[in-house]
């Protein structure tokens, strides 16, 4: 192709002057507010600011706080409200403002997250702990939003597939981690909140994890995809949810795994398949692994366990024993000390102990948080496919 001559006068014609920029996009044409928020100080305290001459009360909730807690902003000159937190631990957080009680994202923060049906603003407090999930100067894998036929659920569904750096340019076959989200989430959660792609980019770049695909499905068996059926989530009750029991696990093993193994360059053996999930996804992981022994050689259960205190432990023990016999290289369990699912987690650990199932247990500080789940993935992924 012809090389371009950047010196030609005509190129200057197409310069959009700054006067035009404001009008060029519709959403961008909203009220501009000259406010800096969030602002991270050198001691990792964070200042939040909102401009409102008329509000009566503005508060902020951040994911470093306890549930239900909020921090009030104080009104300053010219309607500029602000508050500064104590120094925060280096991590990724999300937060919302409440403007006279109305939940809002920070209007001056360009990074927001969707978790199921809700949005929050995103905040990364830099530091050593955050490096593992930041977008660093490494090669990056690609993320595809993939539609596939699910005969088990009689639906056309959507999932995300991460392919590692180099996947497009070589001919190798890769192992696959199937990574499951929790209740309220969907196929987007492990990317937006879990930063799974950046965690793997960084681990692979450092030689700490093998290059692998990550497959992130939608664990809500009643949904085509959140983008179509999101408003239906609220209509799922305990009663009508029961009819979907076990169906996601069936679709995962019988629809998703074969689709991936047909359409991607992957190794189709137990020892090249890992399965992990958090909370509801941890329960899906437990069920899918014991119902399909011999399918997954690596298993990770994050902040989850056996939810039902009245579970028939004898039946379960038989299934765990069969799974153990099928050959599992790694059974990894992680839970926060303050996790509200600790009792379920303990029931899982008890059955692993009872059946002599070799496993690794990692008990961390904190509770049922993405900060923990990102950590767990960063600890679990390096153990896979060795």
The residue within the footprint of a second copy, chosen from 46, 80, 133, 141 (CB under 8 A), is: 141
Does residue 270 belong to the site contacting a second copy (CB under 8 A)?
Answer: no
**Phi, psi (5° rounding) for residue 320?**
-65, -35
Does residue 4 belong to the site contacting a second copy (CB under 8 A)?
Answer: yes
CA 74 to chain centre: 33
Does residue 140 belong to the site contacting a second copy (CB under 8 A)?
Answer: yes
The residue within the footprint of a second copy, chosen from 42, 128, 207, 242 (CB under 8 A), is: 242
Give dist(CA 47, CA 152) in Å, integer: 50
Structure letter (DSSP) for residue 54:
S
The site string for a second copy over 90-109 (x = CB under 8 A, - otherwise) reads: ----x-xxxxxxxxxx-x--
Does residue 111 belong to the site contacting a second copy (CB under 8 A)?
Answer: yes
Closest CA to 299 of 380, 212, 209, 367: 380
The residue within the footprint of a second copy, chosen from 86, 156, 206, 265 (CB under 8 A), is: 156
Q: Establish whether the linkage from the previous residue to 38 is cis, with ω within 30° of 0.
A: yes
**Footprint on residues 169-188 left by a second copy (CB under 8 A):** 169, 182-185
| Structure tokens, 218 | 């939608």
Does residue 362 belong to the site contacting a second copy (CB under 8 A)?
Answer: no
**Residue count at the site for a second copy (CB under 8 A)?**
131
**Phi, psi (5° rounding) for residue 111?**
-110, 110
Q: Rounded to the nearest whole angstrom, what is the least distance from the CB of residue 28 to a second copy in the complex?
A: 4
Taking the CB of residue 210, how many other CB atoms lie within 10 A of it?
18
Task: State which residue, 14 or 171, has the beta carbon closest to a second copy.
Answer: 14
Does residue 324 belong to the site contacting a second copy (CB under 8 A)?
Answer: no
- Evaluate whether 200 touches 274 at the Cβ level (below 8 Å): no
Task: State which residue, 236 or 383, has the beta carbon closest to a second copy.
Answer: 236
Q: Is the dihedral of CA 127, 129, 134, 138 positive or negative?
A: positive
Task: State which residue, 86 or 311, has the beta carbon closest to a second copy.
Answer: 311
Give dist(CA 172, CA 181) in Å, integer: 28
Q: Rounded to the nearest whole angstrom, what is the least distance from the CB of residue 55 to a second copy in the complex?
A: 4
Q: Applying CB under 8 A, which part among 82-90, 135-143, 203-211, 350-358 lies near a second copy?
A: 135-143
- Evaluate whether 197 touches 182 at the Cβ level (below 8 Å): no
β-strands 80-84, 118-125 pairing: unpaired
**Phi, psi (5° rounding) for residue 158?**
-120, 145
The residue within the footprint of a second copy, chosen from 41, 86, 135, 325 (CB under 8 A), is: 135
103-129: b (≥16 Cβ within 10 Å) or e: ebbbbbbeeebbbbeeebbbbbbeeee
The residue within the footprint of a second copy, chosen from 72, 126, 127, 246 (CB under 8 A), is: 246
The residue within the footprint of a second copy, chosen from 180, 203, 209, 280 (CB under 8 A), is: 280
Closest CA to 370 of 202, 227, 184: 184
The residue within the footprint of a second copy, chosen from 72, 76, 79, 166 (CB under 8 A), is: 79
Helical axes 342-354 vs 313-326, angle rounded to 10°: 60
**Footprint on residues 47-76 left by a second copy (CB under 8 A):** 50-58, 61, 63, 67
The residue within the footprint of a second copy, chosen from 92, 146, 216, 301 (CB under 8 A), is: 146
The site string for a second copy over 335-354 (x = CB under 8 A, - otherwise) reads: -----x--------------
Q: Rounded to the nearest whole angstrom, what is the least distance from the CB of residue 208 to a second copy in the complex?
A: 20
Task: State which residue, 143 or 383, has the beta carbon closest to a second copy.
Answer: 143
């Amino acid at each position: 192709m012809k090389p371009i001559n950047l010196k030609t006068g005509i190129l200057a014609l197409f310069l959009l002057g700054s006067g035009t920029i404001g009008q060029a996009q519709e959403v961008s044409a909203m009220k501009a507010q000259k406010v800096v928020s969030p602002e991270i100080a050198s001691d990792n305290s964070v200042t939040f600011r909102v401009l409102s001459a008329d509000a009566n009360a503005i508060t902020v909730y951040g994911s470093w706080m306890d549930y239900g807690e909020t921090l009030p902003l104080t009104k300053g000159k010219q309607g500029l409200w602000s508050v500064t937190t104590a120094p925060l631990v280096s991590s990724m957080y999300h937060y919302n403002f409440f403007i006279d009680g109305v939940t809002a994202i920070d209007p001056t923060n360009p990074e927001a997250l969707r978790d199921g049906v809700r949005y929050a603003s995103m905040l990364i407090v830099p530091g050593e702990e955050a490096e593992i999930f930041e977008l660093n100067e490494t090669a990056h894998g690609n993320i595809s939003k993939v539609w596939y036929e699910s005969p088990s659920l009689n639906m056309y569904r959507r999932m995300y597939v991460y392919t590692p750096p180099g996947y497009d340019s070589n001919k190798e076959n890769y192992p696959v981690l199937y990574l499951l989200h929790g209740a309220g989430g969907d196929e987007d959660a492990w990317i937006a909140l879990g930063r799974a792609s950046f965690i793997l980019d960084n681990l692979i770049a450092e030689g700490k994890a093998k290059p692998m695909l990550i497959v992130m499905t939608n664990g809500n068996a009643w949904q085509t995809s959140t983008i179509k059926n999101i408003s239906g989530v609220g209509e799922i009750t305990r009663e009508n949810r029961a009819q979907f029991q076990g169906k996601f696990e069936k679709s995962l093993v019988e629809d998703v795994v074969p689709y991936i193994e047909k359409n991607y360059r992957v190794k189709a053996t137990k020892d090249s398949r890992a399965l992990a999930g958090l909370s509801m996804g941890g329960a899906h992981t437990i069920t899918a692994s014991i119902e399909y022994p011999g399918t997954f050689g690596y298993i990770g259960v994050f902040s989850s366990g056996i939810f039902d205190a009245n579970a028939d432990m004898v039946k379960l023990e038989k299934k765990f024993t069969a799974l153990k016999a099928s050959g599992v290289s790694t059974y990894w369990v992680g839970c926060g000390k303050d996790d509200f699912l600790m009792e379920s987690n303990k029931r899982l650990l008890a059955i692993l102990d009872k059946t002599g199932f070799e496993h690794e247990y990692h008990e961390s500080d904190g509770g049922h948080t993405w900060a923990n789940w990102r950590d767990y993935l960063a600890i679990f992924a390096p153990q896979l496919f060795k």
